[in-house]
């Protein structure tokens, strides 16, 4: 019988517990493993280096395999409806391995802006030997070339929260694999593989970790593709540390609770901000007019818990004063933690993207990205309201009629 997501999340990656006689995941820190039978170890080495499973329980070396990390990978694969998953030391390490693995098919990538600033930079700089064509979600087909190895999209997009139609992009991409960065959605709200994507990637540093205390990345998909990615990982060494894998696995059963609670608070705050004359505009998929393709409910089961907004002032000193006045919400990059975080992407996370390219997709100097945490919504609003009041005399208060949110 098919079990519901919440049930699967509680039990994912725990299939060997009964046999092991344990109730919580064992944490194995071994950097190397005894190889009493050289023939078995050699065969296992060959298998692991190719991205396949260990043979006869011989793990050989942590860069090739770690059972604690393997359990988290199985759990994540289960939640994404994937055959396999590979975990990395960061989201960027995961993305790098995806790109290096794709090079066997070609050296051209088609990607839709905006995406996370450093991911944009990795593609634009060509430092991994790939070239990129930036396009929009409706013009994927035109951007494809015979050497296109991968289509890269991020939805919701960091930091504008634009939703990209995964199924429509997959249709346009034809036989070219599509990788979806689903960090902002998590498998609670969106399952890109079910919509035809080939790979789904997460910066697990964010909601999957959920507590702001680890860095990790994970990519899930069919065996054949993940095998190639694990092959790259074995050679380049970006494996996730077992302690981070343990913490990630520990957080999987509560992921849905955390995501849904933060989302409910974000909906409340987004409406309040959108109805506030001190705020010039709010980006949040659940606000009127912000989901023109009707993807909420169809592709994504809710808007998530990241809100972007602009103060009614273009003066950078006002933005600094606003950030400095917040008491509860921490000015910091990253997102998806238990506590709320805020940062101006143009100045920090997206500063590695050329200004012109940033501004063409709405990442203005005054844009603030708020990651809503698990605090009580009333306290968060009080904090925002207080900081808005502090800068109110320097804002150009907007007329609220007729538009609610621009
Ligand atoms: C959407 C998205 N993808 C990828 C990354 C990169 O992840 P990491 O910081 O874990 O390397 C980030 C980081 O902020 C992100 O927001």
DSSP labels for 33-66?
Answer: ---SSHHHHHHHHHHHHTT---BTTB--BTTT--
Domain membership of residue 213 (yes or no) is yes
220, 254, 288 - which closes a domain: 254
Q: Within this chain, do residues 72 and 152 fall inside the same structural domain, yes or no? A: yes
Domain membership of residue 405 (yes or no) is no
**Least confident stretch, 75-89, 176-190, 325-339, 389-403:** 389-403
Residue 83's CB is within 10 A of a number of other CB atoms, namely 15
Q: Is 306 in the pocket of ligand 1 (CB under 6 A)?
A: no
In what side-by-side order are the strands of the sheet with 108-112?
Answer: 84-88, 217-221, 199-203, 178-181, 148-154, 108-112, 131-135
Q: Within this chain, do residues 309 and 179 fall inside the same structural domain, yes or no? A: no
Pair type for strands 108-112 and 131-135: parallel
Query: How far from 173 is each of 109, 110, 201, 226, CA to CA, in Å?
Result: 11, 9, 18, 19
**Measured in angstroms, how far is the CA atom of residue 386 from the centroid of ligand 1?**
30
254, 274, 301 - which closes a domain: 254
Q: Within this chain, do residues 51 and 99 fall inside the same structural domain, yes or no? A: yes
Reported confidence tier of residue 1, pLDDT bands at 50, 70, 90:
low
pLDDT of residue 253 exceeding 80, the answer is yes
Q: Within this chain, do residues 214 and 143 fall inside the same structural domain, yes or no? A: yes
Q: Within this chain, do residues 289 and 246 fall inside the same structural domain, yes or no? A: no
Q: Within this chain, do residues 206 and 262 fall inside the same structural domain, yes or no? A: no
Q: Which protein residue has the closest C-alpha to ligand 1 atom 16?
A: 116
Reported confidence tier of residue 2, pLDDT bands at 50, 70, 90:
confident
Residues 6+ apart with CB under 8 A from 231: 49, 50, 51, 101
CATH number assigned to the domain comprising residue 29: 3.40.640.10
**Structural domains of the chain, count:** 2
For ligand 1, pick from 87, 89, 90, 91 the residue to mutate: most ligand atoms within 8 Å of CB. 91
Measured CA to CA, the distance from residue 382 to residue 357 in angstroms comes to: 35
pLDDT for 105-133, tens place per residue? 999 999 999 999 999 999 999 999 999 99
Q: Within this chain, do residues 119 and 239 fall inside the same structural domain, yes or no? A: yes
Q: Within this chain, do residues 186 and 299 fall inside the same structural domain, yes or no? A: no
pLDDT of residue 405 exceeding 90, the answer is no
pLDDT of residue 406 exceeding 60, the answer is no
The pLDDT value given to residue 234: 98
227, 254, 281 - which closes a domain: 254
Encoded tokens for 172: 């346009």
Q: Within this chain, do residues 62 and 123 fall inside the same structural domain, yes or no? A: yes
Domain membership of residue 26 (yes or no) is yes
Q: Is 92 in the pocket of ligand 1 (CB under 6 A)?
A: yes
Q: What is the mean pLDDT of the chain?
A: 96
Domain membership of residue 406 (yes or no) is no
Q: Which domain holds residue 164?
A: 5-254
Q: Where is pLDDT greater, at 293 or 2?
A: 293
Average pLDDT over residues 141-165: 98
% of the chain with per-residue pLDDT over 70 = 98
Q: Is 84 in the pocket of ligand 1 (CB under 6 A)?
A: no
Rounded to 5°, angle at Cα 309 from 303 and 311: 160
Measured CA to CA, the distance from residue 346 to residue 118 in angstroms comes to: 12
Measured CA to CA, the distance from residue 40 to residue 20 in angstroms comes to: 22
Terminal-residue alpha carbon distance, the chain:
46
Q: Within this chain, do residues 223 and 360 fall inside the same structural domain, yes or no? A: no
Q: Within this chain, do residues 250 and 277 fall inside the same structural domain, yes or no? A: no
Q: Within this chain, do residues 64 and 136 fall inside the same structural domain, yes or no? A: yes
% of the chain with per-residue pLDDT over 90 = 96
pLDDT for 387-399, tens place per residue? 999 999 988 888 8
The pLDDT value given to residue 237: 97
pLDDT of residue 79 exceeding 70, the answer is yes
pLDDT of residue 400 exceeding 80, the answer is no
CATH number assigned to the domain comprising residue 286: 3.90.1150.10
Q: Which protein residue has the closest C-alpha to ligand 1 atom 2?
A: 116
Domain membership of residue 402 (yes or no) is no
pLDDT of residue 402 exceeding 80, the answer is no
Q: In 3-state terms, the chain is what percent helix, strand and coil (to 5)?
A: 40, 15, 45
The residue behind tokens 């593709």 is 225
Pair type for strands 330-331 and 306-311: unpaired
Contacts 24+ apart (CB under 8 A), 55-62: 58/33, 59/30, 59/33, 60/32, 60/33, 60/35, 61/31, 61/32, 61/33, 62/30, 62/31, 62/32, 62/239, 62/242
Which positions are annotated as active-site residues?
63, 116, 181, 206
Domain membership of residue 25 (yes or no) is yes
Domain membership of residue 404 (yes or no) is no
Pair type for strands 279-283 and 108-112: unpaired
């Amino acid at each position: 019988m098919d079990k519901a997501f919440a049930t699967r999340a509680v039990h994912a990656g725990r299939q060997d517990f009964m046999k092991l006689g344990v109730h919580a995941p064992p944490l194995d820190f071994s950097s190397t493993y005894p190889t009493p039978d050289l023939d078995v170890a050699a065969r296992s080495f060959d298998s692991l280096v190719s991205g396949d499973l260990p043979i006869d329980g011989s793990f050989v070396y942590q860069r090739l395999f770690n059972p604690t990390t393997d359990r988290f990978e199985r759990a994540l694969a289960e939640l994404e409806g994937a055959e396999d998953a590979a975990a990395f030391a960061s989201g960027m390490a995961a993305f790098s391995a995806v790109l290096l693995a794709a090079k066997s098919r070609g050296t051209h990538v088609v990607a839709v802006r905006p995406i996370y600033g450093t991911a944009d930079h990795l593609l634009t700089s060509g430092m991994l030997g790939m070239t990129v064509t930036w396009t929009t979600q409706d013009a994927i087909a035109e951007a494809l070339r015979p050497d296109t190895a991968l289509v890269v999209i991020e939805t919701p997009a960091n930091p504008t929260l634009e939703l990209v139609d995964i199924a429509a992009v997959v249709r346009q991409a034809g036989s070219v694999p599509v990788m979806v960065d689903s960090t902002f959605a998590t498998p609670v709200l969106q399952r890109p593989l079910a919509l035809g994507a080939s790979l789904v990637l997460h910066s697990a540093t964010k909601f999957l970790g959920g507590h702001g205390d680890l860095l990790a990345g994970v990519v899930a998909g069919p065996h054949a593709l993940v095998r190639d990615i694990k092959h790259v990982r074995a050679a380049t060494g970006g494996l996730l540390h077992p302690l981070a894998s343990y913490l990630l696995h520990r957080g999987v059963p509560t992921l849905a609770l955390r995501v849904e609670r933060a989302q409910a608070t974000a909906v409340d705050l987004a409406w309040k901000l959108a109805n506030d004359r001190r705020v010039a505009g709010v980006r949040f998929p659940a606000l009127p007019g912000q989901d023109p393709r009707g993807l909420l409910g169809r592709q994504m089961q809710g808007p998530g818990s990241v809100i972007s907004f602009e103060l009614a002032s273009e003066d950078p000193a006002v933005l600094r004063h606003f950030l400095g006045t917040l008491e509860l919400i921490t000015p910091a990059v990253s997102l998806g933690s238990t506590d709320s975080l805020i940062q101006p992407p143009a100045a920090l996370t997206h500063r590695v993207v050329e200004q012109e390219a940033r501004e063409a997709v709405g990442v203005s100097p005054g844009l603030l990205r708020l990651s809503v945490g698990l605090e009580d919504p009333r306290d968060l609003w009080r904090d925002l309201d207080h900081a808005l009041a502090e800068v109110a005399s320097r804002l150009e208060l907007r007329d609220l009629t007729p538009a609610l949110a621009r």
